[in-house]
Structure 1
């Protein structure tokens, strides 16, 4: 190797190459950690509260009233490090995630987490009871360690094809400090394993499966979608999680927390009512003429209501229309 006309010995060239490889290796290691290394001296105890805000005022379109009514599955939470993902937007759902998102079963997810625990990338798993209405809350206590400072959780939207809300790899440790309090609004996600458009859609597997994606007010861009609200720039929060650090160690799998320590987020929230515009069908074909073709004869066509308006949404247009018959369109009743 030549540099500025100076001959570099072969042994020095080899040493420089080794140093370069070592430097690149160190850089790669830093990038893989994504800044999640926790240097806190000990574990941290948290109260976790999940609150559903799914109401017919905030989400009036096709709101499920029965068989079953709007409700939430049990919550599953996992503490882990950066080498594990319970779920991740933009990637395919695991078999366990598919089972949970479609029918609310946690068996496969627990198996997957237990396998990850053998590799020491998962800390603990927690579950809470479901909520039998769209509005309500469930809670538990968590213990996070510096080895597993990340929290992921999921709750299924019931009924739905494969929709859920959740948190992916929330880091509760910044450097050497545990966060004291965190509140996060949750929005619906599609697991990509079922192609149904509405809350009550029949089972219709996605072949091949699609990536996990967030559902927005205009995505999927289809009027039949239960979360399709084209007048909104974004959906209101469907749920919220609240985490508060505690000074004591948690009671394992405790699902009831004293009311005096619950935040305001667990109380009924008053969000703006979402306007729902009327949706009507296409016009039917014109009927036959009633009366003489050349004088006073009329023909009619109709349409029907797909979706009634709510919360000051646009009212329905006329459902019947008539026009005078002319010689070129005149077919009369006999």
Structure 2
């Protein structure tokens, strides 16, 4: 019940912010747009539906997959339609305070204030869109939004829950080509690190990154640390963890559609809603280093036996390499014999 109230309050706040921004847009002249970027010359506005599909499964991402407290899931989606001179976030750039708070905690108020300020200052933002959270690593959320020639770009961000500061999203996808709008755009999404928290695993405690790093894409080999939840050295590339589909729809008089209260339809899809084949990522067994050799046990003057052990750090999954031997013996000669 509390979650539903929070989402409804969140949607109401977004709606108020949208109304404020649209009012401001009517009274302020637009700033010049960089001339080195192809201009959209479409005469009409366009309405799009956005469908976000989570593909964060235990089969595709078996290492440390969150199954409880909390289980794998997705935050609300926060997006903007804007011109080419605005970026909500950028790879290899520093995250703003708003992106930081959203990536770490799922709090969107500072991020929305940054968007509002950009709209007032350089008239680069047209509207804000949102979609409800997905309860589970797989599932879908959707919303609708409007674009026009001056603001033909879309950016959005969705937080991975749980995670230190990881998210997926798109930066400045242009929905216009020359004088017409694209009918459909489909993009596979991969995880990003906001560069503000130094945790390696989904459930890492808060550990602020000082100084702040730039936003980087997480890969199967980066960060190159065995503790990293996405570290799969046998893989050349990580499988996509999510997908977004943008579809042009018949124009209506409605400027923007806020999502309705989340229902079961936002959660685990059934049938063929997720059309991609099931991905099974092999996870090799990981073991600790050997313990020191134990005492040499045996009679004085005769050879004895020493023993050492190691333990399993990560059990194999999806036909990954089996665990090696966990115990080992060797011959020795007892010391300190009388």
Partner of 2:76, secondary structure, is coil
Query: Using the alignment, how far apart are the partners of 2:185 and 2:285 within structure 1?
Result: 39
Name 1:127's counterpart in structure 2.
130
Answering whether residue 305 of structure 2 is matched by residue 303 of structure 1, we say: no
Name 2:11's counterpart in structure 1.
none
Name 2:18's counterpart in structure 1.
none
Query: Using the alignment, how far apart are the partners of 2:152 and 2:140 within structure 1?
Result: 24
Name 1:16's counterpart in structure 2.
none
Partner of 1:99, secondary structure, is helix
Residue 292 of structure 1 deviates from its aligned partner by 1.6
- The answer to whether the Cα contact below 8 Å between 1:53 and 1:239 also exists between their aligned partners in 2 is yes
Residue 300 of structure 1 deviates from its aligned partner by 0.3
- The answer to whether the Cα contact below 8 Å between 1:53 and 1:269 also exists between their aligned partners in 2 is no
Alpha-carbon distance change, 151 to 297 in structure 1, aligned in 2, over 3 angstroms? same
Name 1:314's counterpart in structure 2.
321
Correspondences of 1:197-212 after superposition (within 5 Å): 197-212=200-215
Aligned CA-pair RMSD = 2.2
Partner of 1:286, secondary structure, is coil
Q: Alignment partner for residue 281 of structure 2, among 268, 274, 284?
A: 274
- The answer to whether the Cα contact below 8 Å between 1:192 and 1:212 also exists between their aligned partners in 2 is yes
Tell which structure's C-alpha radius of gyration is larger.
1
- The answer to whether the Cα contact below 8 Å between 1:135 and 1:268 also exists between their aligned partners in 2 is no
Residue 214 of structure 1 deviates from its aligned partner by 0.3
Query: Using the alignment, how far apart are the partners of 1:145 and 1:266 within structure 2?
Result: 30
Calculate the TM-score normalised by the size of structure 2: 0.84
Q: Alignment partner for residue 259 of structure 2, among 255, 260, 263?
A: 255
Correspondences of 1:318-333 after superposition (within 5 Å): 318-326=325-333, 330=335
Aligned length: 298
Residue 183 of structure 1 deviates from its aligned partner by 0.3
Correspondences of 1:1-334 after superposition (within 5 Å): 32-118=34-120, 119-249=122-252, 250=254, 252-255=256-259, 266-267=273-274, 269-326=276-333, 330=335
Query: Using the alignment, how far apart are the partners of 1:83 and 1:188 within structure 2?
Result: 24
- The answer to whether the Cα contact below 8 Å between 1:76 and 1:125 also exists between their aligned partners in 2 is yes
Structure 2: give runs of 5+ residues left out of the alignment: 1-31
Structure 1: give runs of 5+ residues left out of the alignment: 1-28
- 1:174-214 residue CA offsets vs partner (Å, 9 max, x unmatched): 11110000100000000000111110111111111010000
Alpha-carbon distance change, 158 to 319 in structure 1, aligned in 2, over 3 angstroms? same
Residue 36 of structure 1 deviates from its aligned partner by 4.2
Query: Using the alignment, how far apart are the partners of 1:305 and 1:76 within structure 2?
Result: 40
Partner of 1:73, secondary structure, is strand
Query: Using the alignment, how far apart are the partners of 1:142 and 1:48 within structure 2?
Result: 8
Residue 34 of structure 1 deviates from its aligned partner by 4.5
Alpha-carbon distance change, 168 to 221 in structure 1, aligned in 2, over 3 angstroms? same
Partner of 1:229, secondary structure, is coil
- 1:276-307 residue CA offsets vs partner (Å, 9 max, x unmatched): 00000000001112222543521100001110
Query: Using the alignment, how far apart are the partners of 1:183 and 1:293 within structure 2?
Result: 74
- 1:192-238 residue CA offsets vs partner (Å, 9 max, x unmatched): 00111110111111111010000000001111100000000000000
Residue 132 of structure 1 deviates from its aligned partner by 1.1
Calculate the TM-score normalised by the size of structure 1: 0.85
Partner of 1:154, secondary structure, is strand
Residue 117 of structure 1 deviates from its aligned partner by 1.4
Query: Using the alignment, how far apart are the partners of 2:275 and 2:74 within structure 1?
Result: 16
